[in-house]
Amino acid sequence: MTRFITSSFSHLILLIGILIMVVPVWMIFASSTHTSSMINMNGLQMFVGDSFYENYLRVLLYQGGFFKEITALKMFFNSFIMATGVAILSVVTSLMAAYALVYYRIKYATLLFWIIFITILVPLELRIFPTYSVMAELNLVNSYFGLIVPISASAIATLFFRQFYKTVPDELLESAKLDGANTWRFFVDFLIPLSKTMIVAMLIFMFVFGYNQYLWPLLVTTSEQYWTVVMGLKMMSGSIVHRFAFVMMSMVPPILIIIVLQKHFIKGVFQDK
């Protein structure tokens, strides 16, 4: 009986936590399906109205921005390119950096690693002007390349992969060598498949990181054609329901990525066990 009480009590606490997180989101969604006059008169709504299609379609296709030359659809496209680019590039570079750090006989590999690691202490905001001038010199302002590359070196991902590689037994490498595998083959045939779970986790993490960028894209783009969703959130003008609809849609890509990739993620975790 006491067990029942304590467990229902903890469930109650969890339930309250969920409500605190979900209710505001729900209210924004419900409100985004009404007309703006309705919201302006009656405040936020708890129930779904009947302007869903009208509002969402208008937001997606409306030419917004100062110069009215970008649609939300284009922003989603830009954000997707940027987030995917950051995710893939950072995972690939960290995989390779960690490989070099662990498996090559580099003098001071540990020191090098810590130098990479302390870049975590130097956030983008701190180095944003030098980084910008490099991009400007290279004529990469207003390009996807400029959006992606400067934020795609991830010390955290390098740390994770390095720690994982260190747990891979030496005999595996030796055995592979005797089986005729060279450095590249060991990387491709062994380390990548063995770290699949971790790669998927890092892809999700870095995708969300890239998607959420605000300051850097703001600085490195002057053309509205390169606006991203997160920039759009700030810049969007228009009625309150349209902004709500845009907020709702901006949450979709990260959630989608997690849903799509988590299958592999969970499968990987269970296969390794």
Nearest to 91 by CA among 24, 161, 39: 161
Integer Rg of the chain from CA: 23
Q: Which is nearer to another protein, 103 or 117 (CB)?
A: 103
Q: How far apart are CA 266 and CA 271, in angstroms?
A: 9
Site string for another protein, 126-145 (x = CB under 8 A): --------------------
- Residues 186, 99 contacting (CB under 8 angstroms): no
Q: In angstroms, what CA-CA distances link 122 with 71, 100, 154, 261?
A: 34, 23, 12, 30
Q: How far is the CB of 168 from another protein (least distance, A)?
A: 10
Among 6, 11, 134, 174, binds another protein (CB under 8 A): 174
Site string for another protein, 176-205 (x = CB under 8 A): xxxxxxx--x---xx--xx-----------
Q: Which residues are registered as beta bridge partners of 70?
A: 64
- Residues 39, 45 contacting (CB under 8 angstroms): yes
Binding segment for another protein (CB under 8 A), chosen from 4-12, 130-138, 168-176, 221-229, is 168-176
Q: How far is the CB of 181 from another protein (least distance, A)?
A: 6
24 binds another protein (CB under 8 A): no
Q: How far is the CB of 55 from another protein (least distance, A)?
A: 49
Among 172, 215, 255, 258, binds another protein (CB under 8 A): 172
Q: How many CB atoms lie within 10 A of CB 161?
A: 25
Q: In angstroms, what CA-CA distances link 97 with 37, 147, 157, 162?
A: 56, 22, 10, 8
Q: Which is nearer to another protein, 60 or 194 (CB)?
A: 194
**Cα distance from N-terminal residue to C-terminal residue, the chain:** 36
Binding segment for another protein (CB under 8 A), chosen from 36-44, 133-141, 156-164, 167-175, is 167-175
Q: How far apart are CA 90 and CA 157, in angstroms?
A: 8
Q: How far is the CB of 257 from another protein (least distance, A)?
A: 25
Among 171, 184, 234, 270, binds another protein (CB under 8 A): 171
User: Could you tell me how far CA 129 lies from the centroid of its own chain?
Assistant: 23
Q: How far apart are CA 157 and CA 153, in angstroms?
A: 9
Q: How far is the CB of 188 from another protein (least distance, A)?
A: 12
Q: Site residues (CB under 8 A) for another protein?
A: 169, 171-172, 174-182, 185, 189-190, 193-194
